[in-house]
């Protein structure tokens, strides 16, 4: 299924505008009041979603809220399958020590996804590309190893030679850096209100956890660290724990959301 950024305008009731709360795909939505007197939020639809997905809303004061469920249609994606023949060691199950390392790294990344819901929205204006490179592997592509589909590409790969600057696409705070087994040298950038972007396989990291960065600020440089065969930037976007295509950060609807007065 296609991953999209969702925009939900919730009108006022009568002459007052009640608080609005909601969840989509298990993730809290962060509604803001626009200058048109509506509440608006973004969210992400999982790649495994069916033809519709429920949007759960609460309208009104706590204890007096009206619950509503809206079924959001989901457009079927057209994801390709990449067929690879690789040496057995690249598809063999990891040993126990490596499994522990991978689990710990996933837990650290998961904590970033949880904490972003407590971070105020930092991003504003239009997003910029982190690397001026072409797309070499799109989001959602299935990866078949030796005849068996074992994974799906949950990011977008952008071309770049080793040392190419990688810059922040928007304002955020550096939530995590590290040298991970799969991702290599990695930076997690928390943009707040549920939105996180991730930069993998870097040759160099020039920021530290806790740093607040502005659009265009240097995060690191393209590399080939982790489990890759050559230098490039693997760029991931997540709403909470739900991954979506980072190229949708450039949609006209998101730009309209960004410029709307909260």
The per-residue pLDDT for range 147-204, each reduced to its tens digit, is 655 677 788 999 999 999 999 999 999 999 999 999 999 999 999 999 999 999 999 9
Residue 55 placed within a domain: no
The three-state secondary structure class of 108 is helix
Which range of residues forms the domain containing residue 236? 81-259
Considering the chain, what is the average pLDDT of its residues?
83
Residue 4 placed within a domain: no
pLDDT at 133 over 60: yes
- CB contact burial 81-105 (16+ within 10 A = b; e otherwise): eeeeeeeeeeeeeeeeeeeeeeeeb
Residue 75 placed within a domain: no
Q: What is the pLDDT of residues 79-123, one digit of tens each?
A: 766 665 555 555 566 778 999 999 999 999 999 999 999 999 999
Residue 225 placed within a domain: yes
More confident residue, 45 or 190: 190
Q: For the chain, give the longest Cα–Cα distance.
A: 66
Could you tell me the CATH number of the domain that includes residue 243? 2.70.70.10
CB 233 within 8 A of CB 200: yes
DSSP code of residue 230: S
- The model's confidence at residue 253, banded by pLDDT at 50, 70 and 90, is low
Residue 230 placed within a domain: yes
Residue 29 placed within a domain: no
Residue 85 placed within a domain: yes
State how many domains the chain has. 1
pLDDT at 226 over 80: yes
Residue 123 placed within a domain: yes
């Amino acid at each position: 299924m296609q991953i999209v950024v969702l925009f939900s305008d919730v009108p006022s009731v009568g002459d007052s505008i009640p608080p609005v709360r909601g969840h989509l795909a298990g993730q809290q939505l962060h509604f803001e009041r626009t200058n048109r007197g509506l509440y608006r939020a973004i969210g992400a639809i999982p790649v495994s979603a069916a033809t519709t997905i429920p949007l759960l809303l609460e309208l009104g004061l706590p204890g007096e809220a009206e619950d509503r469920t809206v079924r959001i249609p989901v457009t079927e994606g057209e994801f390709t399958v990449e067929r690879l023949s690789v040496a057995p060691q690249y598809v063999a199950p990891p040993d126990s020590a490596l499994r522990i390392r991978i689990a710990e790294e996933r837990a650290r990344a998961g904590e970033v996804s949880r904490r972003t819901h407590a971070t105020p929205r930092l991003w504003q204006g239009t997003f910029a590309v982190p690397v001026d490179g072409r797309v070499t592997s799109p989001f959602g592509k299935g990866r078949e190893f030796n005849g068996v589909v074992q994974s799906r590409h949950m990011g977008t790969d952008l071309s770049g030679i080793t040392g190419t600057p990688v810059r922040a696409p928007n304002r955020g705070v550096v939530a995590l850096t590290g040298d991970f087994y799969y991702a290599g040298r990695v930076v997690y950038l928390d943009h707040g209100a549920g939105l996180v972007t991730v930069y993998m396989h870097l040759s160099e990291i020039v920021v530290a956890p806790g740093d607040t960065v502005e659009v265009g600020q240097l995060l690191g440089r393209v590399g080939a660290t982790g489990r890759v065969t050559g230098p490039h930037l693997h760029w991931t976007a997540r709403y909470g724990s739900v991954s979506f295509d980072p190229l949708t950060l450039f949609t006209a609807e998101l730009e309209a959301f960004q410029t709307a007065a909260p």
